[in-house]
Amino acid sequence: MFRLRSTIPTTQPSAIKDKYDVIVVGGGPAGLTAGLYSARYGLDTIIITKILGGMVSEAPLVDDYLGIPEVKGNDLVDKFVKHVKKYNIPIILDEVVDVYRSPRGNQEWCVKLRNEPKEICAYAVILAVGSEKRKLGVPGEKELLGRGVSYCAVCDGPLFNGKTVAVIGGGNSAFASAMFLSNIASKVYLIHRRSSFRAFNVYVEAVKANPKIELLTNTIVREIIGVDKVEALRIENVETGEERLIHVDGVFIEIGLNPPTEFFRKIGLEVDEEGRVKVNVDKSTNLPGLFVAGDAAGGPYKYKLEQIITSAAEGAIAADAAAKYVLTLKSK
């Protein structure tokens, strides 16, 4: 099932054409911005995405997007989508399972969708597919998924009203989730394997000042324990080797992202050591006509600041480069 968190309607499948100038794959900040800029260049554009808004739709509060302070993630997504829909860009909820050169040999790229039999082709494709949540890989994680194990605090947090929960991670997402959950749960453990954090200092100070959040540093989770639901965590202090159990009703895992590396390799895109696509400064790739923006982009020319505003900027850059590429092809 595809999750549509925005209240903005998407285009019905009957509106899908066989051919566009640009196909944008992904509906987060990078993809929506790419679609907007592509349409503003006068190019026939379509956006295809599994989840409208991407991970922004899961954010309880966004306070670092210029000009729109203290906005809920869903509300920010709605603003983005309304702006895109102003240009009558079709937005289709589906999953792109393959991208390949057109068999007609006309320099076009085609995409195959999971739920739509029609092949859709374009001169250029912008991949803004983001990344998936990284897994802990410990016993109990897979078995108790959906029964106390979650990767989305804003999605599942309300189920733990008055209960004890744990958040695993040391970055911005982990700290934001802990603060969000402290408004719902009776107690929140924030568990991190190191003594230092990747999160912004303002988040760290806010968590330290919150009496409902207990920081457990230099600590790793060895096992998630439970029968029909999460009941406890077996944790280990990496400095002393001491193991102990802590009672929790839920655990929220926020330890980073994994890009869809195998999908990229299947297409023929070059990837870096992290599995992200190597992009040039204009977000072009080793395959002419394919561009990558947002969290899925990597390589030596990628400046890594995974924020909404930088993803949106990369989407605009990719659309500008794609537009120049498409207009050059169409002028021949």
What domains can be seen in the chain, in order of their start residue? 13-131+259-330 (3.50.50.60), 133-253 (3.50.50.60)
Instruction: Give the per-residue pLDDT at 15.
Output: 67
Which of these is catalytic: 152, 249, 295, 320?
A: 152
Tokens read off for 17: 């054409």
Q: What is the Cα–Cα distance from 153 to 172, expressed in whole angstroms?
A: 13
Segment among 8-17, 102-111, 206-215 with least mean pLDDT: 8-17
- Mean pLDDT, range 206-225, rounded to an integer: 98
Residue 11: pLDDT above 60? no
Instruction: Give the per-residue pLDDT at 194.
Output: 96
Instruction: Give the per-residue pLDDT at 152.
Output: 84
230-281 residue pLDDT tens: 999 999 999 999 999 999 999 999 998 889 999 999 999 999 998 999 999 9
249 is catalytic: no
Better-predicted residue by pLDDT, 131 or 45 = 45
Element (H, E) at 164: strand 164-168
φ, ψ at 83 (rounded to 5°)? -65, -45
Residue 5: pLDDT above 60? no
Q: What is the Cα–Cα distance from 88 to 90, expressed in whole angstroms?
A: 6
Q: How far is CA 249 from CA 161, 210, 316, in A?
A: 10, 20, 42
87-110 residue pLDDT tens: 999 999 999 999 999 988 788 999
110-138 residue pLDDT tens: 999 999 888 999 999 999 999 888 899 99
At residue 61 the predicted structure's pLDDT band, cuts being 50, 70 and 90, is: confident
CB 203 within 8 A of CB 172: yes
Q: What is the Cα–Cα distance from 220 to 168, expressed in whole angstroms?
A: 9
110 is catalytic: no
Which of these is catalytic: 44, 75, 156, 272?
A: 156
Q: What is the Cα–Cα distance from 172 to 112, expressed in whole angstroms?
A: 35
Tokens read off for 46: 């379509």
- Please report, rounded to a whole number, the percentage of residues in the chain having pLDDT higher than 70: 95
> For the CA atoms of 200, 205, 211, 214, what is the dihedral angle to 10 degrees?
60
Residue 57: pLDDT above 90? no
Element (H, E) at 205: helix 201-208
Which of these is catalytic: 44, 75, 155, 282?
A: 155
| 18-28: burial string, b at 16+ Cβ within 10 Å, e else | eebbbbbbbbb
156 is catalytic: yes
Residue identified by tokens 């992009």 is 279
Q: How many Cα atoms sit within 13 Å of 250 on the Cβ side? A: 28
Residue 156: pLDDT above 90? no
